[in-house]
């Protein structure tokens, strides 16, 4: 395994996008330069064989990590992928630097990813905060009578649902959510154990799906584990999508219009299933075009389309 490894994962439904992500990694780095691993969250045998033979991807067979009642899982094997992110140091003991990228994302430019690797090599976790100039609002509130407001932040809501102490829930209530859809961390970093410890406590009562993001927030904002906040181009989720005038690359919506590194289609459920689904994308002249955010719409690469 290479000193640097990119990990993703998902089930059979996610396979076309996982294939596109793996193709984007190999477009920039061969197997001697970058390791590639895929967590099996319900992939078909032929899909796993394809990822291994075409991209040299290591298939990781993971377990649940924590005791979770069957009624909470309800056959959703893909949720193992959410939990396995906090155990990547144990699954990849020979990798010095581990990057996670969600299966519904792909790499358009490797430079921002390399930047995250370089930052994480110094000790902190390299990750993007959802509190940025691309945020639609800074702090979600629900206004009540007499001018009072109720804090509705993701971290606070999930903390209360998970039984986190009120004092800790309040401390993270106005903090930026650290998006675990893309991050880089050293294999020997203390974050892994602290993250798992927090997740084990919140997963008992809270949602399995959001337990990793909440527990990471607690480990960083309460336990004080260091992070190096990366720019949005390292995990670009919109909602303000833009591209250059000739429609060949996605760029950041605001100046200086930097080329997006990781294109993350979080929330685009229909687009995940169909290459025909489009999104409005702003051009520099102020007009709009409609294109898919999926890799085949932007890269003329034979590996962009799945072979299986």
| Of 191, 10, 18, 214, the residue nearest 89 (C-alpha) | 191
* pLDDT tens-place string over residues 168-199: 888 888 888 999 999 999 999 999 999 999 99
Q: Which domains does the chain have, with CATH numbers?
A: 4-134+177-234 (3.90.550.10), 141-170 (no CATH), 241-304 (no CATH)
Average the pLDDT over 93-97 and give the result: 96
- The residue that leads in pLDDT, 282 or 67, is 282
Q: How confident is the model at residue 90 (pLDDT cuts 50, 70, 90)?
A: very high
- DSSP structure string for 143-200: E-GGG-EEE--HHHHHHHHTT--HHHHHHHTTSPPEEEEEEEEETT-THHHHHHHHHH
pLDDT band for 67, please (50, 70, 90 cuts). confident
Pick the range with the lowest mean pLDDT from 26-30, 223-227, 301-305: 301-305
Report the chain's mean pLDDT, rounded to a whole number.
Answer: 90
Assign 2 a pLDDT band (cuts: 50, 70, 90): confident
Q: Is the pLDDT of residue 230 over 50?
A: yes
Sign of the CA dihedral 255, 134, 225, 172?
Answer: positive
Q: Per residue in 251-267, pLDDT tens?
A: 999 999 999 999 999 98
- Greater model confidence, 65 or 123: 123
Q: Residue 236 has what DSSP assignment?
A: B
Position 139 pLDDT exceeds 70: no
Range with the lowest mean pLDDT among 85-94, 156-165, 196-205, 267-276?
Answer: 156-165
């Amino acid at each position: 395994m290479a000193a640097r490894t990119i990990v993703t994962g998902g089930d059979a439904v996610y396979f076309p996008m996982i294939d596109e992500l793996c193709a984007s990694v190999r477009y920039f780095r061969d197997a001697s330069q970058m390791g590639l691993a895929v967590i099996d969250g319900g992939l078909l045998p032929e899909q796993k064989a394809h990822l291994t033979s075409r991209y040299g991807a290591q298939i990781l067979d993971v377990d649940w990590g924590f005791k979770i009642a069957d009624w909470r899982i309800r056959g959703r094997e893909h949720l193992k992928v959410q939990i396995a992110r906090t155990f990547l140091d144990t699954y990849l003991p020979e990798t010095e630097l581990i990057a996670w990228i969600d299966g519904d994302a792909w790499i358009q430019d490797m430079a921002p990813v390399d930047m995250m690797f370089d930052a994480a090599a110094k000790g902190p976790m390299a990750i993007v905060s959802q509190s940025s100039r691309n945020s639609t609002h800074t702090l979600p509130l629900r206004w009540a009578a007499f001018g009072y407001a109720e804090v509705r932040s993701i971290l606070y809501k999930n903390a209360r649902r998970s039984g986190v102490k009120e004092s800790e829930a309040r401390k993270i209530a106005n903090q930026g959510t650290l998006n675990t859809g893309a991050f880089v961390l050293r294999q020997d970093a203390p974050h892994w154990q602290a993250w798992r410890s927090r997740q084990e406590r919140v997963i008992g009562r809270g949602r399995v799906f959001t337990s990793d993001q909440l527990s990471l927030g607690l480990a960083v904002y309460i336990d004080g584990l260091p992070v190096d906040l990366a720019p949005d181009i390292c995990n670009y989720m919109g909602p303000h999508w833009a591209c250059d005038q000739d429609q060949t690359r996605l760029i950041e919506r605001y100046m200086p219009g930097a080329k997006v590194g990781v294109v993350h289609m979080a929330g685009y459920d229909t687009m995940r299933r169909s290459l025909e689904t489009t999104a409005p994308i702003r051009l520099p002249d102020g007009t709009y075009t409609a294109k898919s955010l999926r890799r085949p719409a932007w890269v003329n690469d034979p590996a962009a389309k799945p072979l299986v």
